[in-house]
Amino acid sequence: MKNKLFITNICLLLTMFTYPADAHAYINPSVFSFIGILLAGAITVIGFYFYKIVGLFENLFLKIKNILKK
Protein backbone atom coordinates (compact mmCIF):
# COMPACT_ATOMS: atom_id res chain seq x y z
CA MET A 1 0.00 0.00 0.00
CA LYS A 2 2.79 2.44 0.90
CA ASN A 3 4.63 1.48 -2.29
CA LYS A 4 1.61 2.41 -4.46
CA LEU A 5 1.24 5.72 -2.65
CA PHE A 6 4.93 6.46 -3.13
CA ILE A 7 4.76 5.68 -6.85
CA THR A 8 1.65 7.84 -7.22
CA ASN A 9 3.36 10.76 -5.50
CA ILE A 10 6.46 10.41 -7.69
CA CYS A 11 4.29 10.37 -10.83
CA LEU A 12 2.44 13.48 -9.69
CA LEU A 13 5.68 15.31 -8.95
CA LEU A 14 7.13 14.38 -12.33
CA THR A 15 3.96 15.57 -14.04
CA MET A 16 4.12 18.89 -12.19
CA PHE A 17 7.71 19.48 -13.24
CA THR A 18 7.22 18.29 -16.82
CA TYR A 19 4.34 20.53 -17.85
CA PRO A 20 4.56 24.32 -17.71
CA ALA A 21 2.51 26.28 -15.19
CA ASP A 22 1.16 28.82 -17.72
CA ALA A 23 -1.52 27.42 -19.99
CA HIS A 24 -2.11 30.58 -22.10
CA ALA A 25 -5.59 29.25 -22.80
CA TYR A 26 -8.30 31.12 -24.65
CA ILE A 27 -11.42 31.87 -22.60
CA ASN A 28 -14.53 31.89 -24.73
CA PRO A 29 -16.60 35.09 -24.19
CA SER A 30 -19.77 33.02 -23.84
CA VAL A 31 -18.32 31.61 -20.62
CA PHE A 32 -18.84 34.99 -18.95
CA SER A 33 -22.50 35.15 -19.99
CA PHE A 34 -22.94 31.60 -18.70
CA ILE A 35 -21.43 32.63 -15.36
CA GLY A 36 -23.77 35.64 -15.27
CA ILE A 37 -26.79 33.43 -15.89
CA LEU A 38 -25.63 31.06 -13.13
CA LEU A 39 -25.24 33.95 -10.68
CA ALA A 40 -28.67 35.37 -11.56
CA GLY A 41 -30.26 31.96 -11.09
CA ALA A 42 -28.50 31.40 -7.78
CA ILE A 43 -29.61 34.79 -6.45
CA THR A 44 -33.19 34.06 -7.55
CA VAL A 45 -33.25 30.67 -5.85
CA ILE A 46 -31.71 32.03 -2.65
CA GLY A 47 -34.24 34.88 -2.60
CA PHE A 48 -37.16 32.53 -3.18
CA TYR A 49 -36.19 30.17 -0.40
CA PHE A 50 -35.24 33.05 1.91
CA TYR A 51 -38.80 34.37 1.83
CA LYS A 52 -40.20 30.86 2.23
CA ILE A 53 -38.05 30.30 5.33
CA VAL A 54 -38.89 33.74 6.76
CA GLY A 55 -42.60 33.00 6.22
CA LEU A 56 -42.22 29.64 7.95
CA PHE A 57 -40.66 31.27 11.02
CA GLU A 58 -43.32 34.00 11.05
CA ASN A 59 -46.08 31.38 11.09
CA LEU A 60 -44.26 29.40 13.76
CA PHE A 61 -43.85 32.44 16.01
CA LEU A 62 -47.48 33.44 15.48
CA LYS A 63 -48.63 29.96 16.51
CA ILE A 64 -46.41 30.06 19.61
CA LYS A 65 -47.70 33.55 20.42
CA ASN A 66 -51.32 32.40 20.08
CA ILE A 67 -50.67 29.34 22.26
CA LEU A 68 -49.07 31.48 24.99
CA LYS A 69 -52.01 33.94 24.95
CA LYS A 70 -54.49 31.17 25.84
Give CA torsion, residues 6, 10, 12, 15, to 10 deg. -170
Radius of gyration of the chain (CA): 27
Would you say the C-alpha torsion 39, 40, 41, 45 has a positive or negative sign? positive
Per residue of the chain (70 residues), what is the pLDDT tens digit?
678 888 888 988 888 878 766 666 676 778 788 899 999 999 999 888 888 889 999 999 999 999 988 7
Q: Does the pTM of the predicted model rise above 0.85?
A: no
What pLDDT score was predicted for residue 5?
85
What pLDDT score was predicted for residue 48?
85
d(CA 55, CA 50): 9
What pLDDT score was predicted for residue 23?
65
What pLDDT score was predicted for residue 16?
80
